Amino acid sequence: MKHWLCALGLALLLPSALAQEADYLSFATEDEANSTEIFSRASPAVVFVTNKALRRDLFSLNVHEIPRGSGTGFVWDPSGLIVTNFHVIAGAHRLTVTLQDRSEYDAEVIGVAPEKDLAVLRIQNPPAGLTTLPLGDSSELSVGRKVLAIGNPFGLDTTLTTGVVSALGREIRAPGNRTIRGVIQTDAAINPGNSGGPLLNSMGQLVGVNTAIYSPSGASAGIGFAIPVNTVREVVPQLISYGRIQRPSLGLELASDRWIRRYRIEGLPVVRVFPGLPADRAGIRGAYRNARGEILLGDIITAVDGEAVRSNDDYLSLIEQHEPGDTVTITLRRGDERREVSVRLSDSE
């Protein structure tokens, strides 16, 4: 009995003794230490982007500058280039970027890719020594791997959330109704204001740009999406150099998806073919007027390289897989006739 009481007393005293010996400030689990280190290194590269618009007062008719929205971005290059989402800066009259030290700078738009929901800004008169993020490889991700998101949800700056990759290869809709493919799904909390912020792996490397959440309420419900960094690597240099994505071209204009749905047409009617460009050289025909002045359909594109196309998004996604100079096979319907033509793509329109 005495031995049992002594053991019980020792067991009660042991946690207290250990608590006195342990120093919480110097103690951390391996995962805690990893998260803390990554946040410490990466957070100086994360910025707060404010979108300001003009609004006319209904009574005085004076024009005022008002906040339109806010989001997150991160430093891409020490020269002051900032990457964020397109929807964060859309419709802005003026943009400001706030760094971690709360210094605020005006920014100008260098390039936008609404179809990928990406944009590049440049800070005017940037300070020296801006921190950038090392780039990872999103193809190396797998479900279950740890990821960290840093952003400014609900205007609360420099907030860290952690989670795992919960799925890969998702598809989401970008502004302009284009499809972004190969998207990363994560359960790291992503809320309004996190858009445009970095998604990092456990080495602190950029693996994605947080862009959207799936939630009926508009708040994080355990499913967030990020554009993979391998897409960002391809798009951002083009935005810096050209202001937009450079895609190969056939040199034609297609009917809008709304018009196609309205008249229940299968395929994509060619509205116009530009003289001297690949589609014209391949003999593709656009819409035309007959002798009575009626507008008649020309060729209708039904497939690219054997892949059926039902919308402009389908068509562009297939064309964007190629480079200028590549040859693609276009399947056409001209009246009741089906034909295939080989077209060598030219530089972007």
Active-site annotation, residues: 87, 117, 195
Q: List residues bridging with 219 in a β-sheet.
A: none
- Cβ atoms within 10 Å of 240's Cβ, excluding its own: 17
What is the chain's length?
349
HSE-up of 190 (CA within 13 Å, CB side)? 31
Residue 95 · residue 121 · CB < 8 Å? yes
Residue 224 · residue 102 · CB < 8 Å? no
